[in-house]
Structure 1
Amino acid sequence: MLAILLVSAFLSGCSVSPTGRNQLTLYSEDTMAQQGSQSFEEMKQQLPISQDTKINRNVQCVAEALLKTAELKPVEWEIVVFDQPDTVNAFALPGRKIGVYTGLLDVAKTDDQLAAVVGHEIGHVLAHHGNERVSTTMITQAGLAILLIGLQTQDMNSPELTAALTGGAQIGIILPFSRAHESEADTIGLLLMARAGFDPKASVVLWQNMSQAGGDGPPQFLSTHPSNESRIEGLESHMDEAMALYREAAHHPQCPAR
């Protein structure tokens, strides 16, 4: 019965991402939006919010330019700058939420570089990566349950085998999917920032800055993110298309200084 439900869920949840990649999304957009909004409210209660007017205006301007280009209504989105100088990160969530940590602004030194990060995060939402991630995890866990039940009936199960199968699923299925999400969001964000009038070449400079700031990371096959070098190669492979969009952009945002 579990196997039948697993196959049915897989077939009913097949969809296509903005780049044409097949993906699995089992949850409704309303469900994902509710979870995203709840997580965002919890973060606002737990983390200090920046009261710096210049920084808030700057981040708001960059984000709104990208949202308009993505045909999303900025007025419906909540954009918050979290006062976390040691955190170099940003995120976007289903439910129309964007968060930027002040630590990112030391690495994304220009509006174009900030647009590369925020465009990437909006790309995750446009491609429904959150939905796909939880769907993939659920299917993987269900598949492992079926396999382990089968091994138990054959008296082949053991703690060592269970650990090996679980670790294999993590490295072989879940982590590669996450890296695929990151690479896809890079591409979506690159083209989005170019259409919005931000210089796409700044995305490469951004990841060079990230590499200098972040130091050595884990091996790529054990990481949920591609290496900085892989990201730069991926961005450069789409740079000609992005530069053409940038040259065609009707407007180049002039955001207030931080």
Structure 2
Amino acid sequence: MKPFGLRTLISASVIAGTLSLVACETVQTTQGGTVGVDRQQRMLVSAQELDQTAAKQYTALIAEEKKKNALNRDATQVARVRKIADRLIAQTPVFRPDARGWKWEVNVLSSSEVNAWCMPGGKIAVYTGLIDKVKPTDDELAAVIGHEISHALREHARERASEQMVAGSLISVGSALFGLGDLGQQGAQYAYMGLVGLPNSRSHETEADRMGVELAARAGYDPRAAVTLWQKMGSISSNETPKFLSTHPSSADRSRDLTDYSQRVMPLYLQAKK
């Protein structure tokens, strides 16, 4: 019998290691709600691991913002953002009953950047650039915050980290097995992002859009404001990134989807307004 070569042994070892990585855990992060979020998620990174990392990043970021005197400078803005966020947070158990036990925090950061985020575990920030440049109504601001909260509820950051860990291992294995070299490996990475990575990011954005309008509706904010919000956001940037290179849906696709789903949750909004 022909003895195994060194390359065969190395390949077998790498494949075995990769197969162990691909054995992700299938999880149900959220309930479906009225909008019907039911896509299966496969996680490799543990929730505890990501939460610990996020907590460290958040602590460092808040400390830096305090040092710059950029944390919660305008009491009126802070009160407005927190009031809206609190109403949305109260509705999160519809998707995740355990979210009522999260240590939620809401801050306003002084920055020209048009941005907002919600870290794993419920740490929310809205940038003054978004408030000053977009000039959102309360309903539109609820759409922004609801969208970001939905990313955290759905654990999209953990899912992306898991996906990238697996993809990186598979690309490395392919390069080692087929002798692609650095250039070939870079090509494989670009192919992965075009065919898998970016479309998955767009699916995350769509899920957050749909969950966000439901949170807003249940909290008594008009879900149709999500459509006008993203129209305003689109008008700020005249040079939209082409759809096939974007991690977000195109403006047209997003508008159609939000119009559809905001209508689906209108009964929840009308009930909340009684």
For normalisation by structure 1, the TM-score amounts to 0.89
- For 1:219, the equivalent position in structure 2 comes to 242
Does 203-212 or 221-230 show the bigger shift?
A: 221-230
Q: Which amino acid aligns with 2:85?
A: A
Encode CA deviations 1:119-175: one digit per residue, 9 max, x unaligned: 0001001111010010000010011011011112xxxx2443222111111222211
Pairing 1:10–2:31 present = no
Distance 1:24 1:74, change over 3 A: closer
Distance 1:74 1:67, change over 3 A: farther
Q: Which amino acid aligns with 2:243?
A: Q
- For 1:100, the equivalent position in structure 2 comes to 126
Are 1:63 and 1:118, in contact at CA under 8 Å, matched by a contact in 2? yes
- For 2:3, the equivalent position in structure 1 comes to none
- For 1:45, the equivalent position in structure 2 comes to 63
Does 167-176 or 113-122 show the bigger shift?
A: 167-176
Encode CA deviations 1:159-209: one digit per residue, 9 max, x unaligned: 432221111112222111111111110011011111111000111010111
Alpha-carbon distance in 2 for matches of 1:77, 1:184: 21
User: How much has 1:29 moved relative to structure 2?
Assistant: 2.0
- For 2:96, the equivalent position in structure 1 comes to none
Alpha-carbon distance in 2 for matches of 1:115, 1:236: 16
**4+ runs deviating over 4 angstroms:** none
Alpha-carbon distance in 1 for matches of 2:100, 2:191: 42
Q: Which amino acid aligns with 1:54?
A: T
Which one has the largest radius of gyration? 2
User: How much has 1:81 moved relative to structure 2?
Assistant: 0.5
Pairing 1:241–2:253 present = no
Q: Which amino acid aligns with 1:225?
A: H
- For 2:9, the equivalent position in structure 1 comes to none
Alpha-carbon distance in 1 for matches of 2:236, 2:266: 27
User: How much has 1:3 moved relative to structure 2?
Assistant: 2.8
Q: Which runs of 5+ in 1 are unaligned?
A: 252-258
3-state SS of the aligned residue for 2:147? Answer: helix
User: How much has 1:34 moved relative to structure 2?
Assistant: 1.3
Distance 1:51 1:74, change over 3 A: farther
- For 1:256, the equivalent position in structure 2 comes to none
Pairing 1:59–2:59 present = no
Alpha-carbon distance in 1 for matches of 2:103, 2:71: 20
3-state SS of the aligned residue for 1:92? Answer: strand
User: How much has 1:17 moved relative to structure 2?
Assistant: 5.2
Pairing 1:115–2:137 present = no
Distance 1:160 1:8, change over 3 A: closer
Are 1:190 and 1:242, in contact at CA under 8 Å, matched by a contact in 2? yes
3-state SS of the aligned residue for 2:223? Answer: coil
3-state SS of the aligned residue for 2:106? Answer: strand
Are 2:103 and 2:121, in contact at CA under 8 Å, matched by a contact in 1? no
User: How much has 1:231 moved relative to structure 2?
Assistant: 1.3
Alpha-carbon distance in 2 for matches of 1:158, 1:96: 42
User: How much has 1:8 moved relative to structure 2?
Assistant: 3.7
Are 1:195 and 1:249, in contact at CA under 8 Å, matched by a contact in 2? yes
User: How much has 1:5 moved relative to structure 2?
Assistant: 3.8
Pairing 1:26–2:59 present = no
Distance 1:2 1:160, change over 3 A: closer
Q: Which has the higher contact order (CA 8 A, sep 6+)?
A: 1
